[in-house]
Structure 1
């Protein structure tokens, strides 16, 4: 098992320790465990995780309290471009940039559309206005309309979808927009539909454990633009989720920095790990080990500049 949680008071070689900033969300924790296993078993460095949130992370990176963030959501940092230009922290790679959100339907509904009485699969938001589709998504509390499920009213995504529902060009006034009061309740609503093989159209996002468990497919919309987004039109934007380091880290840890520069995943890979955690009630450490055992080609790629390190990590995984 990983020894990632090293107390600051423990005796350790400070020159051989890497501190990973860890946000509260599951994907941040998961990626830290994946990287941590590689660092400890391949590079022989001690790994410490420092609980933090985005605002604190960007404030502590410049002074070296944190060495690395594996998930800095760049669009959530208004000063990101200026910070990089000023050398407050260094962008090493983009972990993933395909983090979509929007309206989703089950994969079985697209693949087996005829079994649900449809003449064609539902692949676009514009398909939702077809009479046969509205009838399929009938609101159990209002038979005159269909129902689209969304998140809590406080979410900015919900506000965006409310605007979309009101745009005449979308024709979504044939639906009620039911806001679910928590992310857990929204996930339960979707999971319940999957367990019963029922039709559902709902807002969701990725990467998440739910996406790792179920085949949810995003409905196409017009491409994102800031102007359209302001009025509820088009797709949600994706965000570059970057790996960044404190200033001087690449000089202090050149080989480790090469690994982080190659650290690139995707929402699909992240969903895979998060889904394993959920389905198997596994810890993030257990999910990281499983992920690395299942994705040897990815491991070879991120360690392509460190072949000796790959062999050490592979040996550690084989010994599990």
Structure 2
């Protein structure tokens, strides 16, 4: 009878193995297979995409989580962050998204994990040769008295709109971004709409392409820029002065300089509990405008993708990103980079 039950149990064990119910898969492999995909917002601009790929490489190779990106405008992707369709936002510009961000935090939908970087130099720029000329290349100053945004009223003919020669043109930000509406309001607040058209470019790439073209031909150009961008890292640009920042005035009509603008790393409120080790990693994630600008310049000068720029960062700034991680995770990431 005992022998009979041994035979039965042996048969059942073989059957379980055959069905995959009993497995020799390791505990780590089982846990990895159970890890849910982490979704990261992709707002479409280069610096955000570089940080997305840096984070994704570390998450996939250091923590064994799969990662995917969800594309869309700033508003659309932030809505996804609030609802949980998106887990992480790697570059959420606070001042550009202040109202919806604070609403989401107050509603218990979104949490801040870290401050990725901070910029205090966004605004209306012109190439420095427009003001100072470029003696080495025989370029005379085109607008020597151009110091402030208000001074643009003296030079609409210099920045002539090819589509409407009766006015100048100020290059703004792509539609679908919060900063687009801010800039459009600024142009009206400063009384520039009487002599300038506000142009909405199709993409951030179109803006930097127009800057590159202007520098190649020493042409006048005026428009919105910020750091980090590869154009700001490469070209000599001058920020036009605006009235000193005043919160009340700025909130009323944006009629002052921009305040200091942090780029936050934010997550859906459920994310830290679902993936605490990734939330911990992202809470340590911190770069700078200068470093990010260098990665973007690498993209431009080497015709590289954001993914390739992320790998360049990981290979060249090991002393920075290893500080974000436990030693064993950092070693796994290093091993993946060496492949």
Is residue 137–residue 146 contact of structure 1 (8 Å, CA) maintained in 2?
Answer: no
**Which residue of the partner structure matches residue 53 of structure 2?**
33
Is residue 223–residue 235 contact of structure 1 (8 Å, CA) maintained in 2?
Answer: yes
Q: Which consecutive residues of structure 2, in runs of 5 or more, have no partner in the other structure? A: 1-29
Q: What is the aligned counterpart of 2:315 among 269, 293, 314?
A: 293
Q: Does 1:90 align with 2:116?
A: no
**Which residue of the partner structure matches residue 201 of structure 2?**
182
Q: Does 1:125 align with 2:145?
A: no
Deviates more, 1:56-65 or 1:276-285: 56-65
Quote the Cα distance in structure 2 between the aligned partners of 1:14 and 1:55.
Answer: 33
**Which residue of the partner structure matches residue 268 of structure 1?**
290
**Aligned with 2:109: secondary structure?**
coil
- After the TM superposition, which residues 148-163 of structure 1 pair with which residues of structure 2 at under 5 Å, given as runs? 149-151=170-172, 155-156=180-181, 157-163=183-189
**Which residue of the partner structure matches residue 67 of structure 1?**
87
Quote the Cα distance in structure 2 between the aligned partners of 1:247 and 1:198.
Answer: 48
Is residue 105–residue 218 contact of structure 1 (8 Å, CA) maintained in 2?
Answer: yes
Distance 1:53 1:21, change over 3 A: farther
Q: What is the aligned counterpart of 1:222 among 243, 246, 252?
A: 243
Q: What TM-score results when the alignment is normalised by the length of structure 1?
A: 0.71
Q: What TM-score results when the alignment is normalised by the length of structure 2?
A: 0.68
Residue 194 of structure 1, CA deviation = 1.2
Number of residues paired by the alignment?
295
**Which residue of the partner structure matches residue 4 of structure 2?**
none
Quote the Cα distance in structure 1 between the aligned partners of 2:150 and 2:255.
Answer: 15
Q: Which consecutive residues of structure 1, in runs of 5 or more, have no partner in the other structure? A: 1-10, 168-172
Quote the Cα distance in structure 1 between the aligned partners of 2:72 and 2:312.
Answer: 26
Quote the Cα distance in structure 1 between the aligned partners of 2:231 and 2:92.
Answer: 22
Residue 221 of structure 1, CA deviation = 2.7
Is residue 41–residue 71 contact of structure 2 (8 Å, CA) maintained in 1?
Answer: yes
Is residue 137–residue 201 contact of structure 1 (8 Å, CA) maintained in 2?
Answer: no
Quote the Cα distance in structure 1 between the aligned partners of 2:76 and 2:124.
Answer: 32
Residue 57 of structure 1, CA deviation = 4.4
**Which residue of the partner structure matches residue 126 of structure 2?**
105
Listed one character per residue, the Cα deviations across residues 239-273 of structure 1 (whole Å, up to 9, x for unaligned) are 43321223343334333222100112333333333
Distance 1:85 1:166, change over 3 A: closer
- After the TM superposition, which residues 192-211 of structure 1 pair with which residues of structure 2 at under 5 Å, given as runs? 192-198=213-219, 200-211=221-232
**Aligned with 2:331: secondary structure?**
helix
Quote the Cα distance in structure 1 between the aligned partners of 2:248 and 2:304.
Answer: 43
**Which residue of the partner structure matches residue 284 of structure 1?**
306
Larger radius of gyration: 2
**Aligned with 1:71: secondary structure?**
strand
Residue 111 of structure 1, CA deviation = 8.0
